[in-house]
Chains A and B, each alone.
Chain A
């Protein structure tokens, strides 16, 4: 029995028992049993020109796949999903459905209880993936070579669609594992059982896709070289650099992205350290993921501090409610102005955004989640700090397309990255075969 508890000052691992940690990090939305799925599916009205389809960035035919579930055809339902979104399994887990398909569901309007589209999607995709079936085959080889930079959602979706069309794809991934944010950047309780890795394995069954790891753009490979040796290039590099505040160096001030990543890659939750009093700075999904997981690891007090009003927080209502439900204190209109402590952090100083009042929140750990930015040189032309693309993902450089978080116009959602990768692949295919 560890002598460390949630009350122990400082940053420590093992604040909770293994049983508590296992319980805390279990599936956020557990999978349906078959009958549950049938009952949930039956609530779908099979709307005409359904609003949920319009609300889905990948345009999944939601009423059709739900109807297929209700007739016992989960595999066909999964195919309906994957036709539009090859990462439908992950999206079923991480999509903010409450602001997308489920918000548009007519039953949300009618009763405030939408059809649980996300969980139904997971039921269908899990069933097919558990059967080990990959329902797509490659078209006749075209002899064209395409380089995809980044094995995140955009790159994987692009690569899969290209491989399906018969092109040969090499993905250059900077990290040692594929998946991008699915693998490194999402809260553990949203993707239990190493789902991100399993999904990539399943996706690669299409064939025709090779992945080169530790192959970062700008160091291991250059865009010029890729353009030289390939018929087309797709950039799905994401946002590799985090924003920082210009505070004094203190032990205990960490990057939330690193915190989430380390936890995802940890062999055991019990070995992952967390502070007694944690302050997370930011208002997006990353901030919520870091705050909630700090609490789940056993931090005694967790405060999520955002500089603007509640309405401007990028995290969805569901996410913020989840944080509150887990015991995270949500503080808005709190602008961070400095950190305190002699070597080690003891508090974070804030200024109230409207009153100007200054206050300090005691903290032994501070996690920064104030956004990420594009990292790299010799890229195509930028717009607002991201690679400028048109609707088809075309960049300023001939033969180079881009999509996902690194490209302009998106909304930093996995599902949007998938849609952009897929659509870019379709556009590239047209050009390659012209």
Chain B
């Protein structure tokens, strides 16, 4: 049996699945249910400064987009940080951590960008016995209009400054949660690193309008005829999140900085992918909000089984294994030549590959009167579109041309040696091979 226990910044949890700072972690009641269900840790929903709590809208907070059978693919929200008094939250955190000492308890914090505000709250969080804090520099809606959340996360200098304050006034791990609403995630990550962050977590939600109501002509979720952008999350954002995680994992300045991966983690496989890209834990929200806490059973069982099948004894065994394979386009091997291959036994003759290739690509698939679809090697650039649109898994695959064979499209012999754009004769900046 694979060992799922996780040591992230010295914080132990029975599995790498944490609940992200979000509605599911706003109250003692929910968090106890989560721990009873088997979640490895929680990041308590973001606390604000002492004083009257923020207020939320009194109409819909969430909007959604759906796939087939109303499967929820993307969720957006306009909920703010916790709207309950600070003292209530701190008391509850204390109690829950005491009762569940083996689970990770991280407290998310968002207070104004002033040293005193952080100086005030950090000792009180320390007193709860929580294992660490997560700085919410990511919330894209509401709080950002007040100079917090994403408004901080979009200015690397602020990130560094606040991180430094936290490291100064708090003696447990500090995780900086990053916003994806920036042009290059490496800059805020580098700033967090420079400020002394123990880890980064990402991504927070993406600014979004999920849909427009064509009757009322208002964005959803709609409040009295108006809408405001919300934060987008769920399965739809996973590819964006994974790219940002990989960028940080392979950046020279931030390589090795622990990462807690967030963004559309719905199944064990999603988690394994984030971990392969360097994450030490993953955080889940939308999947739990869609299906309830019980999904943890599939996640832990699935991850465990896959690790057993692959011979990974612990999370650390495969953590970051995919990072060396993430590279820049210019280093991709241009001598790697493949051709699409259609398995005629598996083909159900829907013709989607043909339509896609004929209408939108390279006219590299032929169609016979009796609906046999075949690849024309002379035209196939191996773009993979046919593979992607084929409804039958593994019906169309990419076959590598062996070195020494001739690519019928280019008429050139496939070279065995690796060669990329940096040395390609068409590249004006190419360096002649020495």
Contact = CB atoms under 8 A, between A and B. Distances in A.
A45 B352 contact: yes
A35 B371 CA distance: 33
For the side of the interface on A, what is the size category?
A: 10 to 19
A49 B351 contact: yes
A39 B68 contact: yes
Given A42-B69, A45-B391, A107 B348 contact: yes
B68 A42 contact: yes
Contact of A47 (B68, B352, B392): B352
Interface string A47-61: 111110000000000
Nearest to A48: B351
A108 to B, nearest CB: 9
Given A45-B391, A48-B355, A106 B348 contact: yes
Contacts, number: 35
A48 B355 CA distance: 6
B350 A48 contact: yes
Contacts of A47: 349-352
A178 B262 CA distance: 66
B232 interface: no
Nearest to A42: B68
Contacts of A107: 348
B354 interface: yes
A32 interface: no
Contacts of B355: 48
| A-B complex: 8 closest residue pairs judged by Cβ atoms | A48-B351, A48-B355, A110-B348, A42-B68, A106-B348, A47-B350, A106-B350, A45-B350
Contacts of B146: none
Contacts of A46: 352
B310 interface: no
A109 interface: yes
Contacts of B350: 45, 47-48, 106
Interface in A12-63: 35, 38-39, 42, 45-51
Instruction: Classify the secondary structure of A's interface with B.
Output: helix
Contact of B349 (A35, A42, A106): A106
Interface string B323-359: 0000000000000000000000000111110110000
29 contacts: A35-B70, A38-B69, A38-B70, A39-B68, A39-B69, A42-B68, A42-B69, A45-B352, A45-B391, A46-B352, A47-B349, A47-B350, A47-B351, A47-B352, A48-B350, A48-B351, A48-B354, A48-B367, A49-B351, A49-B367, A50-B351, A51-B371, A106-B349, A106-B350, A107-B348, A109-B348, A110-B348, A110-B391, A110-B392
Contacts of B354: 48
Contact of A51 (B70, B349, B352): B349
A38 B66 CA distance: 12
Contacts of A42: 68-69
A39 B371 CA distance: 27
B320 to A, nearest CB: 38
A47 B347 CA distance: 13
Given A35-B70, A110-B392, 11 more contacts: A42-B68, A42-B69, A47-B349, A47-B351, A47-B352, A48-B351, A48-B355, A49-B351, A50-B351, A51-B349, A106-B349
